[in-house]
């Protein structure tokens, strides 16, 4: 198992790990493991290979991120960011792998920090048309509060494109993509297009802000990712 130590539980009795089980060459996603420090027992929290623990999307760089992918919010409660179908969400789980979504939807949660009582969370996020913003959310609430937007002026002065989603099947897998239509070009009119390729499977494209794609769309190019 290739792994990265994340943190000890508050009582020091358990260690949280993030990594790849290396049990199957087809399994490329990182997942979470817990180690019982007394018995030495190790168990994997999830068996879903479609969930990637972490926030590794090809995206604009935000400053001074913690690099946190998971954290203890109690001796038996864990929070973590998970990538699924191009979105990066914030989840919590118990030690039996029963998860719930705290911050979900079409966005990229890039960092997070829970309050001491575990009832609230501060997090940074971006969307496919919005650069980074800082939010606060009560865990039991359906709504988040925007605390700070460092890109308000930029957003007011620039046009951003919300891309169209598409997908296709290859070898039994569904491959996901986005098409950014060029600014100022009438739909159905011939125009140049750029096929923008990124290696994988980690750091793929997704529901996050990537200025290079917006620059090309604003220059009159269609962009296929």
Cα angle: 131, vertex 100, 177; to 5 degrees: 45
Residues in Cβ contact with 203 at an 8 Å cutoff, skipping those fewer than 6 apart: 56, 57, 58
DSSP string of 68-83, one letter each residue = --EEEEETTEEEEEEE
Structural domains of the chain, ranges and CATH numbers in brackets: 2-153 (2.120.10.30), 157-224 (no CATH)
Residues in Cβ contact with 97 at an 8 Å cutoff, skipping those fewer than 6 apart: 45, 46, 47
Q: Whole-prediction pTM value? A: 0.88
Q: What are phi and psi of 193, to 5 degrees?
A: -140, 150
Between strands 70-74 and 87-94, the pairing is: unpaired
Q: Rounded to whole angstroms, how far apart are CA atoms 108 and 100?
A: 17
Within 13 Å, how many C-alpha atoms sit on residue 41's CB side? 8
Could you report the per-residue pLDDT of 117-138, keeping only the tens digit for each?
889 999 999 999 999 999 999 9
Could you report the per-residue pLDDT of 3-25, keeping only the tens digit for each?
576 889 989 999 999 887 776 65
- Confidence class of residue 200 from pLDDT cuts 50, 70 and 90? low
pLDDT of 70: 92
The one-character DSSP state at 182 is: P
pLDDT of 53: 85
């Amino acid at each position: 198992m290739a792994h990265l130590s994340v943190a000890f539980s508050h009582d020091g009795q358990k260690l949280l790990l993030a990594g790849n089980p290396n049990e199957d060459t087809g399994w490329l996603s990182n997942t979470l493991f817990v180690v019982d420090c007394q018995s030495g027992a190790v168990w994997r929290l999830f068996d879903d290979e479609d969930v990637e623990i972490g926030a590794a999307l090809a995206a604009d760089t935000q400053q001074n991120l913690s690099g946190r992918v998971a954290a203890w919010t109690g001796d038996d409660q864990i929070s973590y960011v998970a990538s699924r179908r191009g979105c990066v969400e914030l989840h919590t789980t118990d030690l039996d792998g029963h998860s719930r979504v705290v911050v979900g939807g079409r966005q990229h949660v890039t960092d997070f920090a829970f309050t001491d009582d575990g009832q609230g969370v501060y997090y940074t996020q971006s969307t496919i048309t919005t650069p980074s913003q800082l939010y606060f959310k009560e865990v039991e609430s359906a709504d988040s509060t925007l605390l700070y937007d460092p890109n308000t002026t930029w957003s007011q002065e620039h046009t951003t494109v919300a891309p169209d989603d598409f997908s296709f099947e290859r070898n039994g897998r569904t491959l996901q993509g986005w098409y950014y239509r060029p600014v100022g070009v009438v739909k159905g009119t011939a125009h140049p297009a750029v096929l923008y390729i990124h290696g994988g499977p980690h750091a793929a494209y997704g529901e996050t802000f990537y200025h290079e794609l917006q620059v090309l769309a604003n220059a009159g190019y269609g962009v296929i990712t």
